[in-house]
Amino acid sequence: MESAMMRLVLQLAVILIAAQLVGLFFKRLLRLPGVLGELIAGMIIGPYALGQLPIPGFGPLFPAAATSLGVSVPLYGLATIASILLLFLSGLETDLALFLRYSVVGTAVGIGGVVFSFVLGAQCGVWFGFANSFMDPVALFLGAISTATSVGITARILSERKKTDSPEGVTILAGAVFDDVLGVVMLAIVVGLSKLTDPGGRAPWGHIGRIAGHAIGYWLGFTAIGLLSARLISRVLKTLHSMSSIVSIAFGLALLFAGLLEMAGLAMIIGAYVTGLSLSRTDLAHGIQEHLRGTYEVFVPVFFCVMGMMVDFSALHGVLIFGLVYAVLAMLAKLLGCGLPAWLMTFNLRGAARIGVGMMPRGEVALVIAGLGLSAHVINTQVFGAAILMTMVTTLIAPPLLSKSFGGGSGLKLRARAGTDETIHSVPLELPSADLAEFVLSRLVRSFRAEEFFVYRLGGDTQAYQIRKDDMSFTLSLEANRVVLTTPARHEHVARFIVLEEILELQDMAHAFEKLQDLDTMKSSLLKGLFEDDD
């Protein structure tokens, strides 16, 4: 046990250092997304590259595990927790109103991506002779492998570019969630069909239908429970009066939802995202994000590095052409299958391309499905190698494309653009000095707290506060001798009333201060007491 724990600690140390250094190299010198560097770092140090080399007196640091994933169970467990943290924060960063507004187009995007990916993936196996027909189990597994979008990779890019709450961002995440649900349904169907003993056998459609119904029902049920109970959870958490306790319990709820949805047959990351999305409209959301940001920066790279470690280069031998064609078709399927519904409904070509590219990456789910097919002896090592190559190519190509795609203008059609950007007003309060401005800021913070707003000081050197209550959100900041209130137009009257009330109280305080008749006597008394010796 001690030897295993020592190995895990050393592995984690190497992963953290390698992921951070290579990630920084990609971001700062190559101007590419850091996630790309973290994936490549995993490929370099993994069990199929440098990790298999023996260290004198220790042996290989990353020996290939007996599992189909190629990494040890404890290491994969750490990566899983990191992925839950990533999707929980992605849910917190998502604008719930915008998410619901684009849920219809997100559903269409998810369906289109799954259908196109499944058809092209299965047909590719037929074209290259790995399957006899479209309904051959090998073709069906190739179709299922190509459907699963790696929402974790896309969520990381959206978060880095501050686009999680953009129309394209929420559509991609909504589509990816629905994509995962449909992926589970498709996998159930594929597994059912692959168990046929002969071409004339009958598929267990009743059982498959029950699995599909359960998957969709659990997803909708848990989402509804989360959204309906979010306000109650927020009120209960605020009674703790400890931000660290609030953050710990909130993340505990994300782990709980993740585990329950995994038990229900869905991916754990869906449960984490639903938890974050449910809490995103509460006044605790920003504080939770800020407290978890440091943990995110340390542990989320572990997930992507471990993802890179799963790439088995030896399995790619002999299937290079097939794997590359399979990868190109997989990317084309998402670009067309997700981009076309988006273009037909709400987005222009720029926005549709962003959504299509955002749905391109395949990741851990594709590897799990491929491993399932390999362990069940449905697909051989060549098909498994092609699946790995497809996963690697889509994972490496999609992040820089998605990052660069957000460099242009709006992705919405003109008729859909109206009303998407809420008007934000700034209300400056000019004061005679910086000290007085700081005093007024502290009084305003106290006033908002007295009105049961959740006030959280933002990080950094400047004094700035995020103020939230239900769906209302304001910002108070100090700029030299000015206090600036930033507020959405629809809630401006509430903010102005609270500020006005406090200004009137300060005015009464100033008048009372002016009525003090004997300030000199007060000062003399204080000075006298200060310099008198105690007897």
422 phi/psi in degrees, rounded to 5? -75, 140
pLDDT at res. 18: 94
pLDDT at res. 198: 45
Q: Is residue 295 classed exposed, middle or buried when 0-12, 13-18 and 19+ CB atoms within 10 A define those classes?
A: middle
pLDDT at res. 199: 46
Residue 347 carries which DSSP code?
A: B
Question: How many angstroms from the chain centroid is the CA of residue 296?
Answer: 10
Strand partners, 347: 412
| Same domain flag for 164 and 303 | yes
pLDDT means per 10 residues, the chain with 535 residues, are 80 93 87 78 89 84 74 86 87 72 81 92 92 85 86 74 76 78 69 54 62 74 87 88 90 92 77 86 82 87 84 77 93 92 86 89 73 73 83 83 79 59 75 88 87 70 73 81 85 88 86 69 71 59
534 inside domain: no
8 inside domain: no
| Same domain flag for 115 and 82 | yes
11 inside domain: no
The CA-based angle 185-186-188, given to 5 degrees, is 65
Position of tokens 């399957």?
131
List Cα–Cα distances, 234 to 186, 446, 515, in angstroms. 36, 20, 45
pLDDT at res. 461: 54
| Same domain flag for 72 and 24 | yes
526 inside domain: no
276 inside domain: yes
Element counts in the chain: helices (H) and strands (E):
20, 7
Token pair of 284 as six digits? 């605790």
Look up the CATH number of the domain holding residue 486.
Answer: 3.30.310.10
pLDDT at res. 197: 39
Per the structure, how many domains does the chain have?
2
The CA-based angle 506-509-512, given to 5 degrees, is 155
Whether the pTM exceeds 0.75: the reply is no
C-alpha 189/C-alpha 380 separation (Å) is: 20
C-alpha 342/C-alpha 355 separation (Å) is: 8
Report helix, strand or coil for 361: coil
Q: End-to-end alpha-carbon separation of the chain, Å?
A: 68
pLDDT at res. 184: 64
C-alpha 191/C-alpha 193 separation (Å) is: 6
13 inside domain: no
Instruction: Out of 416, 444, 475, pick the residue that ends a domain.
Output: 416
**Hey, what's the torsion of the CAs at 245, 155, 120, 345, to 10 degrees?**
110
2 inside domain: no
Per residue in 367-394, is it b (16+ CB within 10 Å) or e — as a string? bbbbbbbbeeebbeebbbbbbbbbbbbb
Full residue range of the structural domain in which residue 295 is found: 18-416
Look up the CATH number of the domain holding residue 88.
Answer: 1.20.1530.20
What number of other Cβ atoms are within 10 A of residue 184's Cβ?
26
Instruction: Out of 416, 450, 482, pick the residue that ends a domain.
Output: 416
9 inside domain: no
Contacts of 147 (CB under 8 A, 6+ apart): 113, 114, 117, 118, 121, 179, 182, 183, 186
Q: Is residue 506 classed exposed, middle or buried when 0-12, 13-18 and 19+ CB atoms within 10 A define those classes?
A: middle
| Same domain flag for 383 and 430 | no
| Same domain flag for 58 and 149 | yes
| Same domain flag for 285 and 380 | yes
| Same domain flag for 232 and 188 | yes
Q: Is residue 403 classed exposed, middle or buried when 0-12, 13-18 and 19+ CB atoms within 10 A define those classes?
A: buried
143 contacts 186 by C-beta, under 8 angstroms:
yes
| Same domain flag for 257 and 397 | yes
| Same domain flag for 310 and 193 | yes
| Same domain flag for 359 and 443 | no
| Same domain flag for 370 and 441 | no
Report helix, strand or coil for 518: coil
380 contacts 139 by C-beta, under 8 angstroms:
no
| Same domain flag for 466 and 410 | no
